A and B are shown apart, each in its own frame.
Chain A
């Protein structure tokens, strides 16, 4: 497909990796934020194409992974109610809450449905006027405008049987928390290209200036990510700290203004809990008071539900780039995609799921760690 295939060209990818090797003189730690980028890195073995000086650590950019336990418990409570059609993106169904997950609620008789788009949930509300339809609206800035549009559309149509359980998270405040931590190791950042397609690049200019941090706005294909790494290495070696736009075919400095407008109309910025990380001030969206009748948390009175994270899951450290999934004692044993302890093992974008699928290692009798993932490194390039 156009704009995909050419960015998977092995010759171009090797050329960029070679350019990185030629430029690097010392160790650098780079973080990609988005889970989609993490999966590309693992799937294509990009980290293994790069020289050993470059360490890639993985950020918190998986909304399913950072959705707090309490929002899952709220979803479960609402989905179990008779008369409710609970609609969610597919990724959320196996995410464990405190005692259950949406699949189990569905198996027990709950009407839980998977949607491709939030507008599918609006259509369901239109077609089922005697039922209450609740959409589980999770996501970063990329997804928030579409979820906001579902509420805006429901209000415009006068639908009284639609509401949104919102769990929106924002990238820049989370990155500030990670970068300001005394244990931070990140020296360069690959910013999430599709978040920036919506929001533009200004917030990342502030981050770069405040933390003297090189940032490359990166795409999602192997060539995009290797080129983002090369841009960061050149900046670091030259002592520069700027925002460079590798994903210029999709990202402008201003971002998508109509999408930003609907965000402003429907949401206001609020403090937000992040699974594993805790509360981060002004790092989420909630519905504005004028949309209160579409706020499922208010409609179903689930505001009092709170929850505690399981202690054996180290996702907090993994999502901040401080540990790798293979550093977790539960990885691949107590915690697998079939029986996940934490959300990063569930989501198709979760970092633990990426390591499990593409980079599981067996110790072997000789103690040498070998990849036993289902996609041999570089074969797919």
Chain B
């Protein structure tokens, strides 16, 4: 139920009091309400849940965190290489 999928805002328009966007999910597009994420602009990634964007993805945070995680993977690879060389 709490599944939310990241998608890219492709276009948006005002419909009455609502702001409705076309959001792309790797080739599939869906209509998404932007009422809870009014700051989202075309090109932003939003988290979509039951037809509503519930948050905007912070690209800077994502990049920073992922670099740290990748380092952990790289350290493991280096360790495995070192063990292989010893064997």
Which positions in A face B, CB cutoff 8 Å? 1-4, 6, 9, 11-16, 18-19, 34-36, 61-64, 89, 91, 116-120, 138-140, 142-143, 145-146, 149, 153, 156, 192, 194-195, 197-198, 220, 223, 227, 246, 248-251, 256, 258-259, 262, 347, 349
Q: Is the CB of A3 within 8 A of B6?
A: yes
| B47 and A116 contact, CB distance less than 8 A | no
User: A258 and B35: CB pair below 8 A?
Assistant: yes
Whether A14 pairs with B76 at a CB distance below 8 angstroms is yes
Residues of A within 8 Å of B76, CB to CB, are 11, 14-15, 18
Contact of B37 among A35, A223, A227, A256 (CB under 8 A): A256
CB-CB under 8 A for A249 and B73, given A1-B6, A34-B2, A140-B1: no
Which of chain A's residues have a CB closer than 8 A to the CB of B1?
Answer: 35-36, 62-64, 89, 91, 138-140, 142-143, 347, 349
Q: Are A197 and B54 in contact (CB under 8 A)?
A: yes
A249–B25 alpha-carbon span in the complex (Å) = 18
Query: Which residues from B are CB-within-8-Å of A4?
Result: 5-6
Q: Are the C-beta atoms of B72 and A194 separated by less than 8 Å?
A: no
| B2 and A249 within 8 A (CB) | no
Q: Taking the nearest CB of chain B, how far is it from the CB of A265, in angstroms?
A: 12
4 nearest A-B pairs in the assembled complex, by CB-CB distance: A117-B51, A15-B73, A15-B72, A249-B62
Q: Are B73 and A197 in contact (CB under 8 A)?
A: no
Q: Find out whether the CB atom of A197 lies under 8 angstroms from the CB atom of B51.
A: no
Within 8 A of A (CB), among B17-72: 17-18, 25-26, 33, 35-38, 45, 47, 49-52, 54-55, 57-59, 61-62, 65-66, 69-70, 72
B62, A3: Cβ atoms closer than 8 Å: yes
Interface residues on B, range: 35 or more
- Alpha-carbon gap, A102 to B1, bound state (A): 18
Known: A11-B77, A16-B69, A116-B50. 7 other contacts (CB 8 A): A1-B25, A3-B6, A3-B57, A138-B1, A146-B50, A249-B61, A256-B54
A260 CB to nearest B CB, Å: 9
Residues of A within 8 A of B79 (CB): 18
A6–B55 contact, CB under 8 A? no
Given contacts A15-B76, A34-B2, contact A227 B69 (CB under 8 A): yes
Chain A residues with CB under 8 Å of B33's CB are 117, 119, 146, 149
Taking the closest CB of chain A, its distance from the CB of B5, in whole angstroms, is 8
The smallest C-beta distance from B50 to any residue of chain A, in angstroms, reads 5
Contacting pair A194 B35 (CB below 8 A): no
Residues of B within 8 A of A142 (CB): 1-2, 4, 49, 54
Cα(A304)–Cα(B45), bound, Å: 45
> What is the minimal beta-carbon distance from A201 to any residue of chain B, in angstroms?
13
Which A-chain residue is minimally distant from B72 (CB atoms)? Answer: A15
A350 to B25, CA, bound (A): 25
* Beta-carbon contact of B2 and A259 below 8 Å: no
Q: Is the CB of B73 within 8 A of A143?
A: no
Let me know if B62 and A15 touch, CB within 8 A. Answer: no
B75 at interface, CB cutoff 8 A: yes
Closest residue of B by beta carbon distance from A142: B2
Are A143 and B69 in contact (CB-based, < 8 A)? no
Q: Could you show 6 A-B contacts with beta carbons less than 8 Å apart?
A: A18-B76, A36-B3, A197-B55, A248-B61, A250-B58, A256-B55
> Which residues of chain A are within 8 angstroms of B2 by Cβ–Cβ distance?
34-36, 61, 63, 139-140, 142-143, 192, 194-195, 349
Known A-B contacts A3-B57, A64-B1, A142-B1; A149 and B73 likewise in contact (beta carbons under 8 Å):
no
A270 to chain B, nearest CB (A): 20
A12–B54 CB distance below 8 A: no
Is B50 a contact of A143 with CB atoms below 8 Å? yes
Partner of B70, one of A12, A63, A153: A12
Contact B36 A3, beta carbon cutoff 8 Å: no
Q: Evaluate whether A11 and B73 lie within 8 angstroms (CB atoms) in the complex, with A2-B45, A143-B1, A149-B35 already known.
A: yes
